[in-house]
Structure 1
Amino acid sequence: MAKTTTKSAKKPAAKAATKPAAKAATKPAAKASKASANSAPKAAAKSAAKTSAKQSAPKAKAKSAKAGKSGLTLSMLKPSVNNMSVRVFARAAGLDHSEIDAWGHTRTPEYMARNPAHLTPMIEDKGLPRGVLWESCAIMQYLANKHRLEKFYPKAPAKRAMVDSAMFYLIGTLYPYVARATYPALNFPQYAGEVGHSDAHPDRKSEAQKAAAAAIAEPLEVFHSFFRNGKPFIGGKNPSIADIRLAATLEFLAVIDYALPQWAKDYMAAIEKKLGKAYAEPAGDVRGYIAYVKSQAEA
């Protein structure tokens, strides 16, 4: 029986900064929630933790998919959908692991000595060339390969290519739109070069945010018509790592009350039903943060 334990890193007073502009220019907003969640107000994080604790399912003792799997350590940020992806996957795959809340900790010398990109999620696992690995998609690919979890990441080259394509399309096309549309409402900073990061007039920033939200519909439909193509999930009968990454990403849209098409609502509900508590607990943390942010905006 796999067990998940959560540890909290000491939260120093200094807040984490956003990623360098050069990095952001290379991959605009694809990794944004990792760094930006670090930069959200500490008070919001505390309140989100309380809210999500009430809304989340009890900590799951995920069923182990294979016996004898070695444990690993996951450093994560609860309000982040990028982090949520790996948290869901680790539980759904039944991997023994411990979680460390890295809030306010990613810029410390100790963390950056292991992870100079200062990103989460980050895993520490024996056998990795540098001992650690970050990037949510890379982490899920690595763990699925290591533990031969073909249910989540098919071995057949053609099927695997479709899963990879869906994930890369998400981080390269859909997620930047989601970030630009939701980060202002989430109180996450945007990247250098973005209108939201500039000293532009608030009306200009609002227009850019609305344009990003309007642009979401097209890539979202691509997931429905092309990658799913009549199947319950991108992975077929069972959710793949691409499905986990997509469902987690769509969770952020609740903060702007985005009108998801019915198929997307049904799709997300089907994934949560299929994965059960493995999905519900990490999703509860994200939803708790969103509920807190919306309550503050209405106050």
Structure 2
Amino acid sequence: MAKTTTKSAKKPAAKAATKPAAKAATKPAAKSSKASAGSAAKAAVKPAAKASAKSARKAKAKSPKKTALMLSMLKPSVNNMSVRVFARAAGLDHSETDVWGHTRSPEYMARNPAHLTPMIEDKGLPRGVLWESCAIMQYLANKHGLEKLYPKAPAKRAMIDSAMFYLIGTLYPYVARATYPALNFPQYAGEVGHSDAHPDKKSEAQKAAIAAIAEPLEVFHSFFRNGKPFIGGKNPSIADIRLAATLEFLAVIDYALPQWAKEYMAAIEKKLGKAYAEPAADVRGYIAYVKSQAEA
């Protein structure tokens, strides 16, 4: 009996003495150690997570972006220069491919049966491609809302369109007839320069074209600019880009530009900076090369 009493007396005493003490001693300690471990883990993970997130952002920033807009062009051409200047001035993410000697290839003509440059490839286009420099600039300005280069107001836009159409329909054909023989560019079918006419007749046609340039050029000065710095007003428009690029070709025949035209071209280059100067350098470089070959 004494054993039983002793056992039963000892057990409750032991339970009473040890369990609460154990609970009191161990649970808070366990919680405390968990909290410490959790805090330490958080403290260790947060900077690591921040660092890895920062590295991921840096890697993402450095990785090359895919360009949605692709431009096929010829560096010596003023038609191509127009779109190259425009894309830079507009800050458009694009890639350029020089297709000199490849515009008649089956691959190129499968996309562009007119075998013309400049040509852009853009997902938004019904046939995936677009050529003609003025159409390209109009499309991209409309798509990206570039009102500074191509105003949205109907009356202002009409003047820009009129200037461009007058340029490609009247001024540029004269410039082409005047400069293509010197540039070693093929002239269009039906032109005297393309025919079997005597060299004297071709020379006469070229001189007549040179003489004809002055009239439409003055129209741009007196009508389209009308006292404004540019056709577009205070800032160059797509019509200004197209006109300035066209006038670049006249250097190959040492055409005597009127003073206003020289100042106008200089003002556009100053306003657009590298966006104009870089593509213009390719045209000027080709002209310098052609002239050096003619003098040799």
| TM more than 0.5 | yes
Q: How far, CA to CA, are the matches of 1:198 and 1:14 in structure 2?
A: 122
Q: How far, CA to CA, are the matches of 1:226 and 1:199 in structure 2?
A: 39
Check 1:208–1:267 CA distance in 2 against 1; reply closer, same or farther (3 A cut). same
TM-score using structure 2 length: 0.78
Check 1:159–1:14 CA distance in 2 against 1; reply closer, same or farther (3 A cut). farther
Look up the match of 1:14.
14
Cα deviations by residue, 1:91-133 (Å, 9 ceiling, x for unpaired): 0000000000011111111111111111100000111000000
Cα deviations by residue, 1:25-67 (Å, 9 ceiling, x for unpaired): 999999999999999999999999999999x99999999999x
Cα deviations by residue, 1:204-263 (Å, 9 ceiling, x for unpaired): 111110110000000000000000000000000000000000000000000000000000
Give the gaps of 5 or more residues in structure 1: none
What secondary structure sits across from 1:152 in the alignment?
coil
8 Å CA contact 1:62–1:91 kept in 2: the answer is no
Give the percent of matched residue pairs that are identical in Structure 1 and Structure 2: 93
Q: Establish whether residue 105 from structure 1 lines up as the match of residue 106 from structure 2.
A: no
Greater C-alpha radius of gyration: 2
TM-score using structure 1 length: 0.77
Check 1:28–1:79 CA distance in 2 against 1; reply closer, same or farther (3 A cut). farther
8 Å CA contact 2:78–2:249 kept in 1: the answer is yes
Moved more, 257-266 or 18-27: 18-27
Give the gaps of 5 or more residues in structure 2: none
Moved more, 109-118 or 226-235: 109-118
Check 1:10–1:48 CA distance in 2 against 1; reply closer, same or farther (3 A cut). farther
Cα deviations by residue, 1:151-177 (Å, 9 ceiling, x for unpaired): 000000000000000000000000000
Aligned residues: 296
Check 1:225–1:111 CA distance in 2 against 1; reply closer, same or farther (3 A cut). same
Equivalent residue for 2:277, pick from 266, 280, 289: 280
Look up the match of 2:63.
64
Check 1:51–1:64 CA distance in 2 against 1; reply closer, same or farther (3 A cut). closer
8 Å CA contact 1:83–1:136 kept in 2: the answer is yes
Check 1:4–1:220 CA distance in 2 against 1; reply closer, same or farther (3 A cut). farther
Cα deviations by residue, 1:64-91 (Å, 9 ceiling, x for unpaired): 999xx96310000000000000000000
* Displaced runs of 4 or more, over 6 A: 1-54, 56-66
Check 1:275–1:224 CA distance in 2 against 1; reply closer, same or farther (3 A cut). same
